[in-house]
Amino acid sequence: MRAIDFHNDVLPLKDKVFRLALRITMDRVEAEDITQETLVRAWERRGEWSEIENMEAWVLTIARRLALDQIQHSKMQSEKEAQIVNYQLSVVNSPASPDEQLDQRQRVEAVRRLIDQLPEVQRTIIELRDIEGLRYDEIANITELSETQVKVYLHRARKKIKENLTRS
Amino acid sequence: MDYKYIEQLLERYWECQTTLEEEAILRKFFSQEDIPASLLPYRDIFLAEEDMIAEHLSEDFDKKLMARIESSQETESAQVVSISWAQRLAPFYRAAAVVAIVLSIGMAAQQGFESHRGDAQPQLTEVSSEGDTLQLFTDMPEALPKTEAVLTVPATDSLIVQ
């Protein structure tokens, strides 16, 4: 088996780590800090690399735990969620006359905000499956859920997005 | 064009029954311009996800990360050097300890001897040169083992033992 190298095997995961952290914290600065912390921790635990079967899932698991700790300790979190929800309601549910149809760019932005509005576990699963293209077993591993639970959460998330798309 | 296959895939997509490969087909389909009106509302989710894939870290991220990793490596190296120095000095510590023990024992022994000698000073005896056999320390203290020092001296002048 080829030896794992930080620059070739760990560092290239940085953007995936960043996007997962961003999806959980919904804050670019916090997500970047979490990404750095995740990769430093992965480096510090390099003695374990030879035993790791799936480096991507391992690194993303570290990232998710750090991101969850971050939002639990962030006193501003509830206020931020409230701001996002309020903004979301004002954009997506505002009655639009034919003349005020949102153009495609705005509609895409509205979907992104809708995803941001989902509960954390649903946002995380959408991120890992639909953005990063991970298998269900990998997502179950990272989120510490069963594959069935992962599919249930993903189904709820997609259903909510679908309802909003067909309604707007 | 028949979009039935796409519609079927989409139905399975909402139910989380599609494979990663089938989801890639949907993503590719919705990335093109020519989408029938019936499927158009669903395009936004795939376009939104395409946007999200494009989210990246700032450009100086690698520089900051590597600086942090290098500083943590330097800390680790410094720890190794300090251990090495301690190991190098160990023989000197051991030698110093041996010297200290020897000196302590020596001092303790000397102190014990001095204290015994202080109890009673043996009397020096002037002996005559007349006899062949002389007895010294005629007033030997009790604390010391009673020993008779026997000297054989030649019959010469008088001898003072100091």
Q: Which of A74, A94, A111 finishes a domain? A: A74
CB A135 within 8 A of CB A121: no
Q: Are residues A130 and A107 in the same domain?
A: yes
Amino acid at A8: N
What CATH number has the domain bearing residue A91?
1.10.10.10
Q: Are residues A86 and A168 in the same domain?
A: yes
Q: Are residues A66 and A121 in the same domain?
A: no
Q: Are residues A163 and A116 in the same domain?
A: yes
Range of the domain at A39: 1-74
Residues of B in contact with A162 (CB under 8 A): 14, 42, 45
CB A122 within 8 A of CB A156: yes
Provide the shortest C-alpha distance from residue B98 to chain A (in Å). 41
Residues of B in contact with A22 (CB under 8 A): 55
Q: Are residues A120 and A163 in the same domain?
A: yes
Q: Are residues A94 and A42 in the same domain?
A: no
Report the predicted TM-score, pTM, of the whole model to 2 decimal places. Answer: 0.66
Q: Are residues A102 and A70 in the same domain?
A: no
pLDDT tens sequence across A15-58: 999 999 999 999 999 999 999 999 999 999 999 999 999 999 99
Confidence of residue A86 (pLDDT cuts 50, 70, 90): low
User: Region B16-34: what's the mean pLDDT?
Assistant: 94
Residues in chain A: 168
Residues of A in contact with B20 (CB under 8 A): 133, 135
Q: What are phi and psi of B49, to 5 degrees?
A: -70, -35
**Quick check: A41 contacting B, CB < 8 Å?**
no
What CATH number has the domain bearing residue A20?
1.10.1740.10
Please give the residue that has the higher pLDDT: either B96 or A49.
Answer: A49
Q: Which of A30, A52, A74 finishes a domain? A: A74
Q: What is the pLDDT of residue B44?
A: 92
Candidates A104, A127, A165; nearest CB to B42: A165
User: Region B116-122: what's the mean pLDDT?
Assistant: 52
Q: Are residues A31 and A12 in the same domain?
A: yes
Q: Are residues A65 and A82 in the same domain?
A: no
ipTM rounded to 2 decimals: 0.79
Confidence of residue B12 (pLDDT cuts 50, 70, 90): very high
Most B-contacting residue of A165, A166, A167, A168 (CB-CB within 10 A), to test interface: A165
pLDDT of A132 > 70? The answer is yes
Please give the residue that has the higher pLDDT: either A152 or B81.
Answer: A152
Q: Are residues A9 and A60 in the same domain?
A: yes
Provide the shortest C-alpha distance from residue A153 to chain B (in Å). 10
Count: domains in chain A: 2
pLDDT tens sequence across A52-81: 999 999 999 999 999 999 998 875 556 655
Average pLDDT for chain A: 87
Please give the residue that has the higher pLDDT: either B89 or A87.
Answer: B89
Most A-contacting residue of B27, B39, B42, B52 (CB-CB within 10 A), to test interface: B52
Q: Are residues A62 and A140 in the same domain?
A: no
Q: Which of A40, A59, A74 finishes a domain? A: A74
**Is the CB of A18 less than 8 angstroms away from the CB of B14?**
no
Q: What are phi and psi of B152, to 5 degrees?
A: -110, 115
Q: Are residues A1 and A15 in the same domain?
A: yes
Burial class (CB in 10 A: 0-12, 13-18, 19+), A150: buried
Q: How many CB atoms lie within 10 A of CB B58?
A: 12
**Quick check: B12 contacting A, CB < 8 Å?**
no
Please give the residue that has the higher pLDDT: either A106 or B146.
Answer: A106
A129-140 burial: b if 16+ Cβ within 10 Å, else e: bbbbebebebbb
User: Region B75-96: what's the mean pLDDT?
Assistant: 68
Kindly state the percentage of chain B with pLDDT values over 90. Answer: 36
Residue bearing tokens 């990063």: A132
Candidates A11, A109, A161; nearest CB to B45: A161
pLDDT tens sequence across A99-118: 444 688 888 999 999 999 99
Confidence of residue B143 (pLDDT cuts 50, 70, 90): very low
Q: A78: left (phi > 0), else alpha (psi -120 to 50), else beta?
A: alpha
